[in-house]
Amino acid sequence: MMAKTPVNFTLNGNDRAAFAEDGQNLLEFLRRGVGDMSPKYGCGQGTCGACTVLVDGETHLSCLVLAETVDGKEVRTASGLSSPALDPLQTAFMEHFAAQCGYCTPGMLVSARALLDRNPRPSREEVIEAISGNLCRCTGYEPIIQAILAVAEGRARA
Amino acid sequence: MIEFRKEFFADERDDDLNEIGKPTRRQDILGHVTGRSPFFDDHQFDGLLHLRCVRSPHHHARIRRVDTSQAEKMPGVVRVLTGKDVPTNLNTLLSLLDFGIDDEPILSDKKVAYRGEPVAAVIAATEAQARAAVKAVRVDWEVLPHVLDVEEAIKPGAPKVLDIYPNNKFIYHGKYDHQKLRFGDVEAAFASADHIVEGRYQMSPIEQAPIETCGAIAAPEQNDRYVCYTSTQALFFSLGTAAKVLQTPSSKLHFVGGTVGGGFGGKVDSIHEPLAILGAMLTGRPVKYAWDREEEMQVGAPRGAERWYIKDAVNRDGRITARKFIGYFDSGAYTRLSSYAIIKGVGHLPGPYTIPNVYADVYCVYTNRTPATAMRGFGITGVDFAIETHMDKVAETVGLNPIELRILNSYRDGDMKAHRREAKNCALVECCQVVAEKAGITLSAEARAATSLTGGGGERARIPNYTATDQNGRVEGFDTGSYARKSGSGPAAATAQPSTAQPARAPQPGSQPASRPASASRPEQAPPRADPPAKPPESRPAASRSGAMRFSSLSGFRRR
């Protein structure tokens, strides 16, 4: 029988407690153990960025993080961005056609939110750098860059 | 920035095209930005089992024996599947459109023809347990010589990739080992040309690389059906394929799809659904079969490699008078969609240019590489790369600007294309003019004055008086049969030359009593059911397979 480790943490501002399986990564823990399906599996090896989440405000690839290490920490995911209302980034992604299949979108939004939280007025270069760890096969990135810049420049409706 | 020049189409359409040039909100966008769009893997099931495949480490090998006994004793392992567990363990995707012969096992049990081909599947409680048990399956291989290049594969004595197709070539229309296009007489034009321009072009396989890997989850439902959540971009292909290989009426299968994490053609092959459903049937529990990233890259079918030889006859003024193609599509180890891609590609030749003499021999070649499949414009993309690169070479030879050369040779409205359809709604001349303007290239007065609406038709609308034909590549006695007409069962005529042992037609869905797989033992944990289902033989309406005709009309292909 494999060991299970209790993990107490906050998820998008709410206290949560769940058991992590032995060796379970944060991505599987959030999806199977806690039921937050917004982080996505794309590679399981830290290449694609679809599983990006915030741990204590820093972006992390949840497929490379051991679940038990978030004990006592604050985790934010894309599903928490729309509470109570849609994040301006979400609205901007909708208006700028910044998603096609939508699979990379949660991770992309988390990276963009982390950028704007530490730098509300990023340059185009800084936006590109911030999402450089998030792969997208549909859009060619330009609509995503435009959506993030629109929020940064205050052009998007909040 | 998109610039929409509606004036070019003023005489073609009467709508005002008021949606173009404005952003439109996608209907599914709210789910995407909130992370709530239901991808196949976002559906949660209690007691979900994980299926992973045992794969060939060899490009080409005979399977002497598969020993699953150790794997079956591993922790968490619920069931190990091999080829004998699959009711109809042979399929070709386009059999649903009555095109081609079943050639690919679901789980191979006699031999493998590409590296990564599945030979067994382990179903276990966790993914880690499934991975561990996969390593415990022992396969006794007899490694065979392999071939990885299309032109090597068609040489005499090359390793035989598939037994059913002679010389590693797909047979078109039951008659030829390649798809032909003949229009006019290229050899006569070559004899009187000012220039002959030749080129060789090739394109490597290209992986679609969707961010969501391909996969499916299947589970027993309460109503004697199986639900299947899938990443497929071809839901009815997947449904039809699962019904066929599992010998189960499609009414027993409840497919849910439509939320696809990127496909680009790579999610049409219906690989995952049959095994996930079979796993659910044999264990009575929900089963997930999904590729990890390594599998997506190694065994996920790419856009196939292509090699093209092009030879043009060109007048001093840049007018192309003949174009000859010899093309090789690398189908990989099995047919999938390559045979069809070639039909589509040949209909496109010689590109968007009016050339009075055109010849093409295009081969669908089997090699020991990963089977190829669809990807964005497949059948066209590789040869268009070859054609457009060749156009630049022709321009260089005659000393014309490449844009001038294209305008000179462009289709105009009313021209006859090589596949004997009239060109309509042409706009290449206008596109070239805009390209020149944007690139700051000054065109000649004639090129500036050219339009797609004028200069076409007349002489250019005629089918050549004489077209040179031939019997090259003729294959005698090959019976491609028809699934729709249930013909072609059993061995081909004994006179078949070259020898082409035909496989017996695999049973079709509905052609026999729908029952649980013959080899299926009682599920270890029966799916919950109100009462034992009566499974009467189900007759299939005769009109249910009209696919072949619709496919024919789409592609210009007709079975002869």
Q: What is the DSSP letter of B87?
A: T
What pLDDT, in 10s, does the model give residues B371-423? 999 999 999 999 999 999 999 999 999 999 999 999 999 999 999 999 999 99
Residue of B nearest to A88 (CA): B33
CA nearest neighbour of B283 among B52, B514, B79? B79
Q: Is residue B163 part of a domain?
A: yes
Enumerate domains of chain A plus CATH numbers: 4-77 (3.10.20.30), 88-152 (1.10.150.120)
Residue of A nearest to B33 (CA): A90
Q: Do A78 and B34 touch (CB under 8 A)?
A: yes
pLDDT at B6: 66
pLDDT at B184: 98
Residue of A nearest to B212 (CA): A42
Q: Do B213 and A42 touch (CB under 8 A)?
A: yes
- Give chain B's domain count: 1
User: Which H or E element spans position B328?
Assistant: strand B320-332
Q: Is residue B390 part of a domain?
A: yes
| B323: CATH | 3.30.365.10
Select the residue of B23, B128, B262 nearest A103 (Cβ to Cβ): B262
What pLDDT, in 10s, does the model give residues B293-330? 999 999 999 999 999 999 999 999 999 999 999 999 99
pLDDT at B2: 61
Minimum distance, in Å, between the CA of residue A158 and any CA atom of chain B: 15
Minimum distance, in Å, between the CA of residue B262 and any CA atom of chain A: 5
Q: Do A86 and B34 touch (CB under 8 A)?
A: yes
In this prediction, residue A158 has a pLDDT band, given cuts at 50, 70 and 90, of very low
Using the structure block, give the residue that is written with the tokens 């042992």. B501
Strands B215-220 and B226-230: antiparallel
**Helix, coil or strand: residue B381:** helix
Contact A54, A113 (CB under 8 A): yes
Cα B13 from chain centre:
33
Minimum distance, in Å, between the CA of residue B135 and any CA atom of chain A: 20
What pLDDT, in 10s, does the model give residues B20-65? 667 778 999 999 999 999 999 999 999 999 999 999 999 999 999 9
Q: Is residue B324 part of a domain?
A: yes
| Chain A interface disruption, residue of B34, B46, B129, most A CBs within 10 A | B34
CA dihedral over B131, B133, B136, B138, signed as positive or negative: negative
Compute the distance between CA of residue B330 and CA of residue B170 in angstroms, rounded to an integer.
11
Contact B287, B234 (CB under 8 A): no
pLDDT at B204: 96
pLDDT at A83: 82
- Structural domain range at position B324: 152-204+302-409
Minimum distance, in Å, between the CA of residue B31 and any CA atom of chain A: 8
Q: Answer whether B442 touches A (CB < 8 Å).
A: no
Q: Which of residues 273-292 of B touch A (CB under 8 A)?
A: 292
Instruction: Write the Ramachandran bin of B387: left for phi over 0, alpha for psi from -120 to 50, otherwise beta.
Output: alpha
- Show residues of chain B in contact with A135, CB under 8 Å: 211
Radius of gyration of the CA atoms of chain A, in A: 16
Q: Answer whether B211 touches A (CB < 8 Å).
A: yes
pLDDT at B520: 38
Q: Which residues have a Cβ under 8 Å from the Cβ of B406 and sit 6 or more positions away? A: B353, B391, B428, B432
What's the helix, strand, coil split of chain A in %, to 5? 35, 20, 45
Residue A10 bridge partners (DSSP): A15, A74
Q: Is residue B313 part of a domain?
A: yes
A-B contacts at Cβ under 8 angstroms: 102
Burial of B496 (0-12, 13-18, 19+ CB in 10 A): middle
Q: Is residue B120 part of a domain?
A: no
Token duo for residue A134: 């998030």
CA nearest neighbour of B37 among B48, B23, B26, B52? B26
What pLDDT, in 10s, does the model give residues A147-156? 999 999 987 6
Q: Do B33 and A99 touch (CB under 8 A)?
A: yes
Compute the distance between CA of residue B2 and CA of residue B13 in angstroms, rounded to an integer.
20
Read off the pTM. Answer: 0.88
Q: Answer whether A77 touches B (CB < 8 Å).
A: yes
What pLDDT, in 10s, does the model give residues B494-549? 333 443 444 445 444 444 433 334 343 344 444 444 343 334 334 333 333 333 33
Angle between the N-to-C axes of helices B402-409 and B428-439, in degrees from 0 to 180, rounded to the nearest 10: 170
Q: Do A48 and B25 touch (CB under 8 A)?
A: no
Minimum distance, in Å, between the CA of residue A71 and any CA atom of chain B: 24
Q: Which of residues 113-142 of B touch A (CB under 8 A)?
A: 128
Q: What is the mean pLDDT of chain B?
A: 88
Q: Do A97 and B34 touch (CB under 8 A)?
A: no
Q: What is the DSSP letter of B458?
A: G
Compute the distance between CA of residue B256 and CA of residue B239 in angstroms, rounded to an integer.
10
| Chain B interface disruption, residue of A87, A103, A111, A139, most B CBs within 10 A | A103
Q: Is residue B369 part of a domain?
A: yes
In this prediction, residue B287 has a pLDDT band, given cuts at 50, 70 and 90, of very high
pLDDT at B511: 41
Q: Answer whether A29 touches B (CB < 8 Å).
A: no
Contact B64, B140 (CB under 8 A): yes
Compute the distance between CA of residue A77 and CA of residue A59 in angstroms, rounded to an integer.
10
Compute the distance between CA of residue B153 and CA of residue B143 in angstroms, rounded to an integer.
17
Burial of B469 (0-12, 13-18, 19+ CB in 10 A): exposed
Compute the distance between CA of residue A137 and CA of residue B211 in angstroms, rounded to an integer.
7
Q: Is residue B388 part of a domain?
A: yes
pLDDT at A122: 97
**Phi, psi (5° rounding) for residue B408?**
-60, -40
Token duo for residue B1: 């920035």
Q: Is residue B394 part of a domain?
A: yes
State the alpha helices, DSSP H only, in B40-124.
Answer: 69-72
Q: Answer whether A59 touches B (CB < 8 Å).
A: no
- Show residues of chain B in contact with A23, CB under 8 Å: 128
Minimum distance, in Å, between the CA of residue B381 and any CA atom of chain A: 18
Select the residue of A90, A100, A137 nearest B34 (Cβ to Cβ): A90
Strands A4-11 and A14-21: antiparallel
Strands B358-366 and B320-332: parallel
Minimum distance, in Å, between the CA of residue A47 and any CA atom of chain B: 10
pLDDT at B483: 80
What pLDDT, in 10s, does the model give residues B191-248? 999 999 999 999 999 999 999 999 999 999 999 999 999 999 999 999 999 999 999 9
**Helix, coil or strand: residue B415:** coil
Compute the distance between CA of residue B45 and CA of residue B186 in angstroms, rounded to an integer.
63
Select the residue of B26, B261, B264 nearest A103 (Cβ to Cβ): B261
Q: Do B23 and A95 touch (CB under 8 A)?
A: yes
